[in-house]
Amino acid sequence: MATALLEGIILGITLAFLIGPGFIALVNTSLQRGFISGVQFAAGIAFSDVVLIALSYLGALQFLSGSDHQVSIGIIGGMVLIGFGMYTFFQKFTMQKPVKIEIKLQTERFFRFFFKGFFLNLLNPFLLIFWIGIMSLVSAKYGIPSREINLFFAGTIGAVFVTDALKSFVAHRIKRLLNMKVLTIINRIVGLLLMAFGVLLIFRVAFLL
C-alpha cells in the first residue's frame, strides 16, 4: 500500500509542474489577490480533479468488474499517459494571458475563487481522458475496487494541492521565471517524466500481474 501512495505522490508532483492555463491563472490570482485566494483557487482545482477521478472510477468499476482483460486495459491507459507526455514534450509554448472565468455568485470570497479554479480545471477537455487513462492503469495493476487505488489518488490529489499552495506562496518569485525558454524546458522535463511513468506502469501491469 505504501508503494501505491508513493506512486500517487510522484505523479501528483509531476502534474503540478505542467504549464497551462491553470498554472498561469493560479500564479496570477495569488499575485493580484494574495496567498489565501490562491489557496482557495488551488482547492477548486483539486476538487475538480476529485470529480473527474470519481467519474473515471465509476466507469472503470462498471467496465472492469469481472473482466479478464485488465492487462490490455492497463496497457491502453499507459499509452494514453505516454501520449500526454509526448504532447507536453513537443508542445510549442506561447505566452498567453491568464484565462478569465467570470462566475457571478452571491457567495463569500472563498467560494468565488474556489469555483473559478474548479471550472477552469473542469472545462479542460483533455483532463477527463487523462484521468481515464490513469484509472485504467491503476485499476489493472491493483484491481478494482481496492484500497491501493484510494491511496494512489489520495497521494496524487494531496501532492497537487500542496504544490499548488506552495506556488501561491512563492508566486512573486515564480512570476519572474515565467518566460518562454524556462517554461518550455519545464514542459519538456514534465513530458519526459510522464512518458517514463507510463512506460514503468505498463511494465508493471504487463509483467508483474
Q: What is the pLDDT of residues 160-199, one digit of tens each?
A: 899 988 888 887 676 666 667 776 777 788 778 878 877 8
* Domain residue ranges of the chain, discontinuous segments joined by +: 2-208
| Long-range CB contact pairs, 150-153, < 8 A, 24+ | 151/1, 151/4, 151/5, 151/8, 152/4, 152/5, 152/7, 152/8, 153/8, 153/53
Q: Is the pLDDT of residue 77 over 60?
A: yes
Q: Label residue 71 by pLDDT band (50, 70, 90).
A: low
Q: What is the pLDDT of residues 143-158, one digit of tens each?
A: 776 788 889 999 999 9
User: Would the pTM count as exceeding 0.85?
Assistant: no
